[in-house]
Amino acid sequence: MLKDHLQELQQHDTPLYVYDLDLLRQTLRKAQDEAARYGYQVHYALKANANAPILAEVKAHSFGADCVSGNEVKCAIENGFSPEHVVFAGVGKSDAEINFALDNDIFCFNCESSHELAILNELAAAKGKTARIALRINPNVNANTHKYITTGLEENKFGINAWELPDVLSQLQELSNLKLTGLHFHIGSQITDLSSFKNLCTRVNEFQEWFQQHNLELEHVNVGGGLGVDYYHPDGQPIPDFEAYFALFHQFLQVRPGQQVHFELGRSLVAQCGTLLSRVLYIKHGKTTNFAILDAGMTELIRPALYQSYHKIENLSSQLAEDKYDVVGPICESSDCFGKAVVLPETNRGDLIAIRTAGAYGQVMTSEYNLRDRAKAIYLHQ
């Protein structure tokens, strides 16, 4: 796809984010179709990518919005998501953020601690409102992913622990400005071993049972996001396996009559459609290796430096014989490296380099470290 647009791409300054809107639409459609088989509703996790043209597509495909800050709630509403399809999660919501979401009558607050419940009740009471809430429960399920993006273990800061639930239920009886409508779970991100989701279902079923024994009917159960993508073979299977993912929940999740099942997917919807485009500034021959020094660095894509992740790297300009390169950025940090001993065609100054599968947690995590300019974005479609 990128090679078809080479002439156009050459006109642009780099570093640059390039989004393939056709692939995005295809991915969104597939996810929606597979979710719709079982009547599941998906809220898109804005934290993965909140660019307006991306949100427009997500919205056009009937997804709701999963937000983790007041600004994300604002962004979702400004981009056309109806407040009744907006959920607000996060372990540390500020009073101002809560007030903003209350003023906009969002669908649900996913609450993560008993202290948060008390404050939310207070703020809702001050406005004479009742906030709809889901309890985010920490299910203590291992997601088998990088430890920085594991969220469902007891040692993680997220959610209410199982042993706190009896106290939380008594507390809720006193909090008359909160209405408990659902349960929320999220065990982590970039999960490629689907058995983790099966384990999650088992735990969710246990919690549902417990709530039923306490005569609490819940309108919805939200099982979070986390479906991983293949960073090594972006063209092999460009769309994550939504079919197997939703089918697994259908098989293992026990749903109460009339209860809605919600998901919060981010990465799997937008990762594949984005590429970080860069140019080679210099080639440096070290003693044991060659360095290809790019004009993009960890300021544009921090995932390799932060999670030791690899995004497939391609040289779009060269067809010469292959060699090995350490592909690095210009930032004054040794972790500013996109890949070691990467096999590329002979690479020269000015070559266009594509760093693939960068649509999720790429542009949103850019920084101005070293006083760099923020990368811009373009959107390609047929």
Please check whether residue 99 is in contact with residue 123, taking contact to mean a CB–CB distance below 8 angstroms: yes
Of residues 338 through 357, those in contact with ligand LLP by CB under 6 A are none
Please check whether residue 263 is in contact with residue 187, taking contact to mean a CB–CB distance below 8 angstroms: no
Alpha-helical runs (H) found in 127-253: 165-174, 195-213, 242-252
Applying CB under 6 A, the span of 33-41, 117-125, 223-231, 315-323 interacting with ligand LLP comes to 223-231
> Does residue 255 interact with ligand LLP by CB under 6 A?
no
Residues 6 or more apart in contact with residue 344 via CB below 8 angstroms: 292, 313, 314, 315, 318, 322, 323, 324, 325, 327
Q: Which helix (H) or strand (E) holds 265?
A: strand 260-265
Query: Coil, strand, or helix at residue 148?
Result: helix
> Does residue 274 interact with ligand LLP by CB under 6 A?
no
By CB under 6 A, name the one of 225, 234, 240, 329 that touches ligand LLP: 225
Catalytic hit among 111, 201, 273, 332: 332
Closest CB to ligand LLP among 21 and 91? 91
By CB under 6 A, name the one of 58, 89, 111, 135 that touches ligand LLP: 89
Alpha carbon separation from 180 to 32, 85, 140, 159, 256 (Å, rounded): 27, 17, 22, 15, 16
> Does residue 224 interact with ligand LLP by CB under 6 A?
yes
Taking each helix axis from N to C end, the angle separating 95-103 and 114-126, rounded to the nearest 10 degrees, works out to: 50
Residues 6 or more apart in contact with residue 328 via CB below 8 angstroms: 291, 292, 293, 294, 297, 336, 337, 338
Min dist. Cβ of residue 110 to ligand LLP (A): 7
Closest CB to ligand LLP among 139 and 266? 266
* Dist. CA 108–CA 104, nearest whole Å: 11
> Does residue 304 interact with ligand LLP by CB under 6 A?
no
Is 361 annotated as belonging to a binding site?
yes
By CB under 6 A, name the one of 20, 57, 97, 264 that touches ligand LLP: 264
Q: If you search the block for the tokens 């299977």, which residue do you land on?
A: 237
Please check whether residue 288 is in contact with residue 27, taking contact to mean a CB–CB distance below 8 angstroms: no
* Dist. CA 22–CA 381, nearest whole Å: 6
Min dist. Cβ of residue 213 to ligand LLP (A): 26
> Does residue 300 interact with ligand LLP by CB under 6 A?
no
Residue 264 tokens, joined: 């919060």
By CB under 6 A, name the one of 64, 139, 152, 226 that touches ligand LLP: 226
> Does residue 66 interact with ligand LLP by CB under 6 A?
yes
* Dist. CA 328–CA 135, nearest whole Å: 43
Alpha carbon separation from 280 to 108, 258, 298, 322, 330 (Å, rounded): 47, 56, 15, 16, 10
Is 226 annotated as belonging to a binding site?
yes
Of residues 2 through 61, those in contact with ligand LLP by CB under 6 A are 45, 47-48
By CB under 6 A, name the one of 59, 61, 132, 186 that touches ligand LLP: 186
Closest CB to ligand LLP among 147 and 381? 147
- Vertex 315, ends 312 and 320: CA angle to 5°? 130
Applying CB under 6 A, the span of 26-34, 185-193, 243-251, 286-294 interacting with ligand LLP comes to 185-193
By CB under 6 A, name the one of 85, 132, 267, 311 that touches ligand LLP: 267
Is 356 annotated as belonging to a binding site?
no
Residues 6 or more apart in contact with residue 75 via CB below 8 angstroms: 46, 50, 55, 67
Active site residue 332: yes
> Does residue 303 interact with ligand LLP by CB under 6 A?
yes
Closest CB to ligand LLP among 266 and 274? 266
Instruction: Mark the binding-site residues for substrate, compressed into ranges.
Output: 267, 303, 307, 333, 361
What are the residue numbers of the active site?
332
Instruction: Mark the binding-site residues for pyridoxal 5'-phosphate, compressed into ranges.
Output: 226, 264-267, 361
Instruction: Mark the binding-site residues, compressed into ranges.
Output: 226, 264-267, 303, 307, 333, 361
**Residue numbers of the site for ligand LLP (CB under 6 A)?**
45, 47-48, 66, 89, 149, 151, 186, 189-190, 224-227, 264-268, 303, 307, 361
